[in-house]
Structure 1
């Protein structure tokens, strides 16, 4: 088997382990907070939103730094760094004694982890260009497969062994993924380690990737991440509110999280394959427009089953957009600078994940948790407008950048 495929499938398995690890405990944070002593519904909404905002804010700051480091020292090292700290932090979450200790760990999570960004960066730099959408789709599927299996198992485990042990088991599973990457993933040394001749020239070179086209893609990713994450932190509270009791709420939350994540993984494995054979932005626009009426249909029904059905279909349609847009940006960026690109994209995605729970907390306190669902179609319409702008920029700049540094490039030795 070709080396790039061995790397891809190893990282696919390791990322399933990684996201399963987080899925064992993170989706049930609202219930864990109640166990830590938070009883007021207003306080609970505030802390749930804060818990989702802190790691996203920290990751928005840290991602560009790790991206530049990965271009210099290699992406495999960044994956190992992210998985090691994730294992340590997850295990520590199971041992906290108050909510503020948990919040500090969430900040550390944002700074020191980021397994998804590190793995995506590795794959983008070590995969043939004609297989890029397929490879990134495979990696996206691992993220959501892990996030579908993790909450499903975690919801069942939580009712038997409690939330603390779920976090500890998550840390153990993360270390299994760490070992897989350590021994099975091999990195092409020609894809990193380029030295710039001066700091000023290096800065100019890095900023050369930030073209109007890339900026338009970044805005699309920002809005898309907001649409997908604004309701996620409050799903557990919505289920508890719908059931009228916390009993079995973890189980149903796990089922819904599992269904939406599985749908996203299915989209990444199927829809994104078209991305290598058709116009990526046009495909993204079709998926975005189809997802809007589907999300609207979640609003009039009170049934948890009907909500879960339409919510899952929405995630299937939306799930193909991010890897396709990522591939669209990656194919116009030199391979040796994709670590920096993915670092910037990590920041943009984290900003979306940071802003969405703030917005969700405000809406849930001022109106209701269900009112958050009404925001998603509105944000998705904005996403469609952003993709339209990206299409216009693509027409202005139809020629992709080279995939590696040229020998005569004055910035590199």
Structure 2
């Protein structure tokens, strides 16, 4: 098996473990906070929001920093740092005695993250150009699959083992990602010497972007990543209420709401490699704009559904189109960014994704409270349409310029 392909499968497992670990606490976080001595319902809700959001907020801030480190010291080192750090912190969460310690560790977990951006950079710079769409699509299924199955695993483990033991099991799972990365990921990265590092100019953010041949297009990719996560997450705060409105007599509201949330992620996992392969043939630009526009169209009828099953089907269709977005973005960024700053650029893109995770539920909840649930779908559709138009005008029909790349072995 080619080295780049073996690396892809190894870091796929790491991305799955990482995202599952970051999201598995969703079903029982309020219960765990209650065990830590917070009993007032409003306080539990507030602390749950702080504890959950802290990880993604700090992860968004530090992602470019870890990306710069990956460009300097190699991507495998960053994979090892992130997987081991998150394994230790996840295990420590099982020993906390108060909510402050839990929030502190959740914050620290976001600070040591960076596995996903390092994995994307590694795969993007090693995969052959004609296979990049398929490689990015396949890697994306690990990230989406982890965020989809993480809450499910968390709920099942909490029922079977108890709340604290969930953290121990997940820490062991993340440590497995560290071990397989140590053993099987191969990278021919030449680290600069101490003298070279000392004499190397420290580029500012403006100077880094000045090195890009098409910075406007790269920024368009970052915005697209943000919009993708914002759109997919916007329904999360209101999905249970909406399902209850659509099926008021159902005795399985929570189950149906979970299925509606999971439908888009499941479709994404199923379709991403195939759409990535299609993008390799017809071009990432065409697939990206088409999937953005189609996703916007599919959002609109979600405001007019008559029952929860119709909503579930539409969310599944939405996931099929969204499966073409993130892999296409990563493939295009790869084409536009020199290898020696690729880690930083994918770090910025990862920051955009984390910010979308934070802002999506906030936008959906505020819109639903102020105007009604239907407007959540209309506003999200409008934002996706605007994004599709902006990407179209930035990319156009002309082939994008290629930046010089370092040679990698694909054997």
| Superposition TM-score tier, normalisation by shorter sequence | 0.7 to 0.9
Distance 1:287 1:4 in 2: 27
Q: Is structure 2 residue 106 aligned with structure 1 residue 106?
A: yes
Question: Counterpart of 2:395?
Answer: 394
5+ residue gaps, structure 2, are none
TM-score by length of 1: 0.83
Structure 1 SS opposite 2:400: coil
Distance 1:240 1:99 in 2: 32
Q: Is structure 2 residue 235 aligned with structure 1 residue 231?
A: yes
Distance 1:237 1:114 in 2: 34
Residue 132 of structure 1: how far off its partner (Å):
1.3
From the superposition, tell whether residues 283 and 133 of structure 1 become closer, same or farther in structure 2 (CA, over 3 Å): same
From the superposition, tell whether residues 95 and 256 of structure 1 become closer, same or farther in structure 2 (CA, over 3 Å): farther
TM-score by length of 2: 0.83
Question: Counterpart of 2:335?
Answer: 331
Contact 2:293 2:388 (8 Å CA) reproduced = no
Distance 2:25 2:253 in 1: 14
Residue 65 of structure 1: how far off its partner (Å):
0.8
Distance 1:366 1:38 in 2: 29
Contact 2:145 2:269 (8 Å CA) reproduced = yes
Residue 348 of structure 1: how far off its partner (Å):
2.1
Distance 1:261 1:294 in 2: 15
From the superposition, tell whether residues 157 and 82 of structure 1 become closer, same or farther in structure 2 (CA, over 3 Å): same
Q: Is structure 2 residue 225 aligned with structure 1 residue 221?
A: yes
Deviations 1:299-323 (A, max 9, x none): 3457444433332332232232111
Residue 13 of structure 1: how far off its partner (Å):
2.5
Structure 1 SS opposite 2:348: helix
Question: Counterpart of 1:174?
Answer: 174
Distance 2:55 2:377 in 1: 22
Residue 236 of structure 1: how far off its partner (Å):
7.0
Contact 2:131 2:277 (8 Å CA) reproduced = no
Contact 1:150 1:258 (8 Å CA) reproduced = no
5+ residue gaps, structure 1, are 406-413
Within-5 A mapping of 1:363-374: 363=367, 371=373, 374=375
From the superposition, tell whether residues 55 and 13 of structure 1 become closer, same or farther in structure 2 (CA, over 3 Å): closer
From the superposition, tell whether residues 17 and 73 of structure 1 become closer, same or farther in structure 2 (CA, over 3 Å): same
Distance 2:202 2:92 in 1: 41
Distance 1:289 1:81 in 2: 38
Question: Counterpart of 2:284?
Answer: 280
Question: Counterpart of 1:10?
Answer: 10
Question: Counterpart of 1:151?
Answer: 151
Structure 1 SS opposite 2:337: coil
Contact 1:222 1:349 (8 Å CA) reproduced = yes
Question: Counterpart of 1:211?
Answer: 215
Deviations 1:64-85 (A, max 9, x none): 1101100000111111111112
Distance 2:287 2:9 in 1: 26
Q: How many residues align?
A: 399
Structure 2 SS opposite 1:331: helix
